[in-house]
């Protein structure tokens, strides 16, 4: 909490208080700025001097609450709520009308945070105005309402005075005490009427409310708290005067309150860090950048008039004052020469802006940083690191880097002022070398772009110059170090032999016999300075295998007859490729092409095309056109001669032929009618060669019935009767394909049946439950329900026929002494598909077998032999009779054996 140092111990007149506050504002603010922020009331006691007569609703003073954590929802309360109430904005109002006692009135004001429930309190002291103050009030300026215009006899009466109310000037940030009286508003009718005064407008009854208050009785206008010009520069109020009934007595008057600016705001730069650039080597006076600061105070007074200056420069080389600033506009310019990016790349300036026109005593200041980067210009040419560079390259090699040229450039890397461009000034008139720039290292890469022949040039000496992408700065010259010499040696390598000429053209007649010498095709070795043996020749490509080359001399002879009509001959030309190889290290070879132009001879007879024709069976219309073709060319081809042979005589009897052009003729019927069918007509065709060649072609003519337009009507019948070779072959292929498909299907079905039978054999018949009906837990009827002779179970021998009598009583585990019963032979198990028949046959055999035992007889299935170490398991067939057995033990086996106990354990019964 800040206090005004040296504050007057007594209540001073309001005007004097404002003057003191204005004079002491700067030191007061400086004192408060150093204090820590504390939430609560900034004063321990609020003092206010007010008039003795207080009416209800009269604003008395304004208290301030400081919140350091942002906006708090604070509720104000008074310790004397019957007399005073507090608004949300901290303005204290009278809760009722009363007279202040001569003694100061004291009460407490509470502020409570609704969220955190924190509470603060401050004391309020109200002192009544002394008598001398009332006298001073009489001396205060009065604003009197102008007299209203009255109407007399239907016309207006002119006012005596024209009122001009000057504005009220009030300094901002006044320290009070508050409320601070400004003026008194009164009407000249207040001596006759009881008037009430009020004020309206922003700052009174409109937001922000409660800044200005007026005593409704005395008309005294006061301000309740300090004003801030940066928020509101002026207030426009309107004063009203009414009687006790609320009737308007005077016209409202306008009151303007101007807030006088105080120097309470420091200059603020738009950016805390400003960035600018300047080229190196710039002359003094070169513009660099502009910095700008603003001041919230009035720019029309000294409080808002700023001045700039440079506080420091880093680094201070080559001069501590390389830059200056326009103190009014903030423009930064150079004032000294010597900007060199290679020495200093960046300068940092501390700029200060001060208001009060730069007055260091009364003005407020602020600082910002200006970072000036010195940009690069091409003031350093590239310089070679050596005067001579060496390189070597094998002959006939392309895109090979021969030498690496290195340069140094002090300019900023990877900029147009640093990037080097290399050019050859002499030593390479044919342009066999090119120099490319490495974008990363800026080196020059000397590269071969055209083949070099060692036998022609063994060494190259190039003169190379280096430049930048942009020209050098004005006044900078290229030093001798920007030029270098490149010495390149050519290395001899084994080169491929080459044929001369290539290709070689020879004109020969076709039909040359095998062994004919065509020509000699030799190659040359370009390596004159490399000792080697003679070249060797071989054949690389010979599509028809007609040629042979001598490996030593290169002489080419034929191994077959040259035929112009061969499919390997294109456009009368036959191509063959040969290879020549040397003995160098490594061995090299070269190829050459021999082109033989074959001259046509008459070695092919003409033939008819197409070999089939169609005509009508009547004389008119019956002509058909045929064409002759010959594999030879002029003059060994057409025009052709057409004629029919003498034999057989039926040909000339039935047919006639007339030539209509050099290669076409017309075949027609000589007789009026020829039966429909297919006829083979021989035709003799002779070409124009020297000597001529002729052949007899067989033309297959289909004679058919025709309509009036000459179209065959029974062509299908004729075609079906005489199918061509191609049609027959196609039909046979279709039939063979179908047979193969049927055979494959049969084989597949047999394999499928075998797999199915194999799977059935793998299944145990006892486990195969398909098509079986299984019955479980079927106990059937007891002995009482079935008429069985149980003695037969004990004496199975009684069932034997009378013809076979047992000797004594035998055991079932003994070999029978009588002949075994003979059962009829049954057929083996049939196919599973006849299982029903198999069961029926077995049933009939069992029914018709007289030796078969009854259903409930004891059957002897096999003889187990004698001498078993185990005792007999047959308790039913014993030597003793049933009456001798004791079955009483069955009574001890439980209810399940009760029936057996009653049957066998009952004694004689």
Q: What confidence tens digit (pLDDT) does each residue in 125-138 have?
A: 888 876 554 444 44
| Residue % of the chain over a pLDDT of 90 | 28
Average pLDDT of span 436-444 = 93
- Residues with Cβ within 8 Å of 87's Cβ and at least 6 positions away in sequence, in order, are 76, 93, 210
| Out of 37-46, 108-117, 247-256, 480-489, least confident range | 37-46
d(Cα 405, Cα 403) in Å, to the nearest integer? 6
Query: Residue 779: pLDDT band by 50, 70, 90 thresholds?
Result: low
Confidence at residue 765, expressed as pLDDT on a 0 to 100 scale: 53
* CB-based contact 688:670 (threshold 8 Å): no
What is the spatial order of strands in the sheet that 74-78 belongs to?
A: 45-50, 119-128, 105-113, 74-78
Say whether pLDDT at 200 is over 50: yes
Higher pLDDT, 908 or 743: 743
Say whether pLDDT at 807 is over 50: no
Say whether pLDDT at 750 is over 70: yes
Say whether pLDDT at 513 is over 60: yes
Q: How does pLDDT run across 601-656, given as a tens digit for each residue?
A: 877 788 888 888 887 877 666 678 888 888 888 887 878 888 888 888 878 887 88
Mean confidence (pLDDT) of the chain: 79
Query: Residue 576: pLDDT band by 50, 70, 90 thresholds?
Result: very high
Bridge partners, 435 (sequence order): 446
Confidence at residue 712, expressed as pLDDT on a 0 to 100 scale: 78
3-state secondary structure at position 652: helix
Q: Is the sign of the CA dihedral 7, 9, 11, 13 positive or negative?
A: negative
As a whole number of angstroms, the longest Cα–Cα distance in the chain is 183
Confidence at residue 75, expressed as pLDDT on a 0 to 100 scale: 87
- Residues with Cβ within 8 Å of 362's Cβ and at least 6 positions away in sequence, in order, are 26, 263, 356
Distances (CA, A) of 694 to 219, 636, 690: 149, 11, 12
Say whether pLDDT at 94 is over 60: yes
Overall residue count recorded for the chain in this entry: 909
Q: Is the sign of the CA dihedral 452, 456, 460, 466 positive or negative?
A: negative
Average pLDDT of span 715-725 = 53
Confidence at residue 366, expressed as pLDDT on a 0 to 100 scale: 95
d(Cα 364, Cα 360) in Å, to the nearest integer? 8
Query: Residue 668: pLDDT band by 50, 70, 90 thresholds?
Result: confident
Query: Residue 789: pLDDT band by 50, 70, 90 thresholds?
Result: low
pTM for the whole structure: 0.44
Run of H or E including 202: none
| Out of 62-71, 399-408, 481-490, 875-884, least confident range | 875-884
Confidence at residue 604, expressed as pLDDT on a 0 to 100 scale: 79
d(Cα 319, Cα 311) in Å, to the nearest integer? 15
């Amino acid at each position: 909490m800040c206090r005004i140092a040296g504050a007057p111990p007594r209540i001073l007149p309001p005007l004097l208080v404002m003057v003191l506050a204005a004079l002491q504002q700067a030191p007061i603010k400086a004192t408060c700025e150093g204090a820590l922020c504390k939430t609560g009331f900034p004063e321990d006691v609020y003092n206010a001097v007010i008039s003795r007569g207080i009416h209800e609703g009269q604003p008395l003073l304004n208290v301030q609450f400081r919140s350091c954590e942002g906006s708090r929802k604070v509720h104000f309360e008074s310790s004397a709520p019957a007399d005073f109430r507090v608004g949300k904005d901290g303005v204290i109002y009278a809760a009722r009308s009363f007279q202040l006692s001569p003694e100061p009135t004291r009460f407490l004001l509470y502020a409570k945070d609704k969220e955190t429930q924190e509470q603060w309190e401050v004391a309020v002291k109200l002192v009544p105005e002394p008598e001398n103050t009332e006298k001073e009030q009489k001396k205060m300026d009065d604003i009197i309402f102008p007299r209203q215009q009255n109407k007399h006899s239907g016309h207006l009466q002119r006012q005596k005075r024209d009122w001009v109310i000057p504005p009220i000037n009030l300094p901002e940030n006044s320290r009070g005490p508050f409320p601070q009286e400004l003026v008194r508003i009164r009407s000249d009718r207040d001596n006759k009427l009881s008037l009430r005064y009020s004020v309206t407008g922003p700052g009174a009854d409109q937001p922000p409310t409660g800044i200005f208050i007026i005593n409704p009785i005395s008309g005294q206008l006061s301000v309740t708290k300090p004003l801030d010009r940066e928020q509101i520069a002026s207030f426009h109020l309107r004063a009203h005067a009414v009687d006790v009934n609320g009737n308007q007595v005077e016209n409202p008057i306008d009151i303007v309150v101007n807030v006088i600016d105080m120097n309470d705001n420091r200059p603020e730069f738009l950016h805390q860090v400003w960035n600018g650039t300047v080229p190196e080597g710039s002359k003094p006076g070169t513009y660099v950048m502009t910095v700008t600061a603003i001041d919230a105070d009035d720019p029309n007074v000294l409080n808002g008039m700023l001045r700039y200056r440079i506080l420091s420069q880093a680094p201070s080389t080559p001069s501590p004052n390389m830059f200056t600033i326009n103190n009014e506009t903030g423009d930064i310019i150079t004032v000294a020469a010597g900007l060199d990016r290679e020495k200093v790349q960046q300068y940092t300036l501390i700029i200060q802006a001060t208001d009060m026109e730069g007055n260091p005593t009364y003005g407020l200041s602020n600082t910002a940083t200006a970072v000036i980067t010195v940009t690069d210009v091409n003031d350093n040419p590239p310089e070679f690191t050596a005067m001579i560079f060496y390189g070597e390259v094998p002959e006939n090699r392309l895109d090979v880097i021969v030498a690496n040229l290195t340069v140094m450039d002090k300019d900023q890397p990877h900029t147009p002022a640093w990037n080097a461009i290399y050019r050859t000034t002499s030593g390479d008139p044919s342009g066999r070398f090119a120099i490319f720039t490495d974008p990363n290292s800026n080196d020059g890469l000397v590269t071969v772009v055209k083949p070099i022949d060692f036998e022609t040039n063994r060494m190259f000496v190039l003169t190379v110059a280096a430049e930048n992408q942009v020209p050098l700065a004005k006044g900078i010259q290229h030093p001798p170090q920007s030029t270098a010499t490149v010495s390149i040696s050519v290395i001899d390598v084994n080169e491929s032999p080459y044929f001369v000429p290539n290709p070689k053209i020879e004109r020969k007649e076709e039909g040359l016999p095998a062994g004919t010498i065509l020509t000699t095709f030799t190659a040359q070795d370009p390596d004159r300075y490399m000792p080697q043996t003679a070249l060797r020749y071989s054949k690389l490509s010979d599509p028809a295998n007609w040629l042979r080359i001598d490996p030593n001399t290169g002489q080419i002879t034929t191994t077959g007859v040259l035929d112009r009509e061969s499919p390997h001959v294109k456009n009368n030309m036959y191509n063959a490729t040969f290879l020549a190889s040397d003995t160098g290290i490594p061995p090299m070879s070269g190829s050459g092409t021999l082109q033989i132009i074959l001259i046509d001879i008459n070695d092919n007879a003409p033939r008819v095309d197409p070999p089939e024709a169609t005509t009508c069976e009547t004389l008119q219309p019956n002509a058909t056109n045929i064409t002759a073709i010959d594999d030879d060319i002029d003059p060994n081809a057409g025009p052709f001669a057409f004629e029919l042979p003498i034999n057989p005589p039926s040909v000339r009897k039935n047919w006639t032929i007339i030539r209509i052009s050099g290669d076409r003729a017309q075949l027609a019927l000589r007789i009026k009618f020829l039966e429909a069918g297919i006829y083979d007509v021989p035709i003799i065709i002779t070409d124009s060669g020297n000597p001529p060649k002729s052949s007899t072609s067989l033309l297959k003519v289909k004679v058919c019935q025709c309509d009036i337009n000459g179209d065959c009507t029974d062509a299908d019948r004729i075609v079906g009767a005489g199918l061509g070779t191609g049609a027959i072959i196609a039909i046979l292929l279709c039939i063979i394909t179908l047979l193969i498909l049927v055979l494959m299907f049969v084989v597949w079905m047999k394999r499928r049946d075998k797999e199915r039978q194999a799977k059935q054999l793998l299944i145990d018949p006892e486990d195969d439950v398909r098509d079986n009906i299984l019955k479980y837990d079927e106990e059937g009827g007891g002995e009482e329900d079935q008429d069985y002779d149980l003695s037969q179970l004990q004496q199975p021998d009684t069932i034997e026929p009378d013809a076979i009598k047992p000797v004594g009583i035998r055991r079932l585990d003994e070999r029978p002494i009588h002949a075994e019963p003979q059962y009829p032979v049954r057929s083996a198990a049939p196919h599973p598909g006849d299982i029903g028949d198999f069961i029926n046959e077995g049933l009939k055999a069992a029914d018709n077998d007289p030796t078969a035992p009854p259903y409930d007889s004891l059957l002897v299935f096999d003889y187990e032999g004698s001498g078993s170490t185990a005792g007999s398991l047959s308790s039913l067939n014993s030597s003793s009779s049933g009456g001798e057995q004791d079955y009483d033990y069955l009574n001890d086996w439980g209810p399940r054996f009760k029936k057996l106990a009653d049957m066998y354990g009952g004694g004689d019964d």
